[in-house]
């Protein structure tokens, strides 16, 4: 490695460490407020604060993006531009946005015990994939908080733009506070199977340490992903994979198998998590037959499951330009 390469790698490593420490600090506050609500030390009244969190998207080097693509099972060459540059993959959002979404939740001062929050799903609408190194801005908000009995569903939005205000991507994240029986322990919950006609796109081996690895990368230090006793306390068999880790893998599979290795053709995808992926795990991504949208794009259903005979852990849809 050249001296310049070594300096770039060291700078990326230091940036990652600083980002991880900052994210851990936010996550600690996130949990502290939840404990305060649970202990009755905070008001139970929603003051309807919904501030916009605005800032610069953290800088990512080519080294950072290459590491992320490889870590989440993608092919770096799928994102390589003719000029030698690199496109930012769809799933990179999950490597920096969780801490900004947590900031928006903290700023909203919701009278909720957020230590029990579950990642229910996410979607992304892509106007244009940015090139690595392109300066970007973001706006993060809490859009809606809907109570149904003891259950609470929180919808958050995060939009990225260029420095001049051109919209690049529009993200929506769904969070769930079960308020009682946790979804994965509800035996009456409807399960969705992978159709026998679905095509296998990719298979991933997720090691037992995958949760901690992705926590350090994304700043999502929820202990359900890396602390086995805590995960078992919640009724799980062990730690579980991050939702954004699975989203990134879905994006890579769509680019490679459905968009002919052309990431700019993937314009939208949405995923809903049905059952946690308990680590370690061997999971596969399947695709069904496409339909055509009003805009002429091809819309494919996708599933993540242990195998084709098991209930789906996640159900997704992806739209690909023809």
Per-residue pLDDT of the chain (322 residues; tens, 9 = 90+): 455 444 544 554 544 554 556 666 666 666 676 666 666 656 555 666 688 999 999 999 999 999 999 999 999 999 999 999 999 999 999 999 988 998 898 888 888 877 778 899 999 999 999 999 999 999 999 999 998 888 899 999 999 999 999 999 999 999 998 876 666 666 666 788 899 999 999 999 999 999 999 998 887 888 899 999 988 988 889 999 999 999 999 999 999 999 999 999 999 999 999 999 999 999 999 999 999 999 999 999 999 999 888 899 999 999 999 8
Residue 15 burial by Cβ neighbours in a 10 Å radius (0-12, 13-18, 19+): middle
Q: What range does the domain containing 307 cover?
A: 3-320
pLDDT of residue 116: 78
What is the number of structural domains in the chain? 1
Report the pLDDT value the prediction gives residue 35, as an integer from 0 to 100. Answer: 66
Q: How far apart are CA 9 and CA 140, in angstroms?
A: 29
Which pLDDT does position 114 carry in this prediction?
A: 79
pLDDT of residue 1: 47
- pTM (predicted TM-score): 0.87
CATH number (domain holding residue 31): 3.10.129.10
Strand partners, 123: 172, 270
Q: Which two tokens stand for residue 282?
A: 């061997």
Burial zone of 30 (CB within 10 Å; 0-12 exposed, 13-18 middle, 19+ buried): buried
């Amino acid at each position: 490695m050249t001296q310049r390469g070594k300096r770039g790698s060291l700078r990326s490593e230091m940036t990652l460490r600083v980002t991880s420490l900052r994210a851990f600090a936010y996550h600690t506050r996130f949990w502290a407020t939840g404990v305060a609500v649970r202990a009755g030390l905070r008001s139970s009244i929603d003051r309807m604060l919904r501030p916009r969190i605005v800032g610069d998207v953290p800088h990512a080097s080519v080294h950072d993006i290459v590491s992320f693509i490889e870590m989440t099972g993608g092919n770096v060459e799928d994102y390589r531009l003719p000029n030698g540059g690199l496109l930012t993959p769809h799933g990179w959002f999950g490597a920096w946005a969780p801490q900004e979404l947590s900031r928006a939740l903290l700023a909203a001062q919701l009278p909720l015990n957020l230590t029990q929050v579950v990642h229910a799903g996410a979607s992304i609408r892509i106007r244009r994939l940015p090139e690595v190194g392109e300066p970007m801005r973001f706006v993060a908000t809490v859009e809606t908080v809907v109570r149904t009995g003891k259950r609470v569903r929180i919808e958050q939005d995060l939009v990225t733009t260029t420095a001049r205000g051109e919209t690049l991507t529009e993200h929506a994240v769904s969070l769930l506070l079960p308020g009682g029986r946790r979804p994965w322990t509800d035996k009456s919950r409807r399960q969705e199977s992978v159709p026998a006609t679905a095509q296998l796109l990719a298979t991933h081996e997720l090691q037992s340490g995958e949760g901690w690895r992705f926590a350090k990368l994304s700043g999502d230090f929820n202990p359900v992903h890396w602390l086995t006793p805590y995960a078992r306390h919640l009724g799980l068999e062990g730690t579980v994979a991050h939702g954004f880790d699975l989203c990134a893998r879905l994006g890579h599979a769509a680019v490679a198998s459905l968009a002919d290795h052309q990431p700019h053709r993937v314009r939208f995808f949405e995923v809903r998590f049905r059952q946690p992926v308990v680590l370690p795990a061997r999971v596969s991504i399947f695709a069904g037959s496409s339909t055509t949208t009003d805009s002429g794009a091809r819309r494919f259903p996708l599933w993540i499951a242990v195998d084709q005979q098991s209930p789906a852990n996640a159900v997704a849809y992806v739209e690909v330009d023809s």
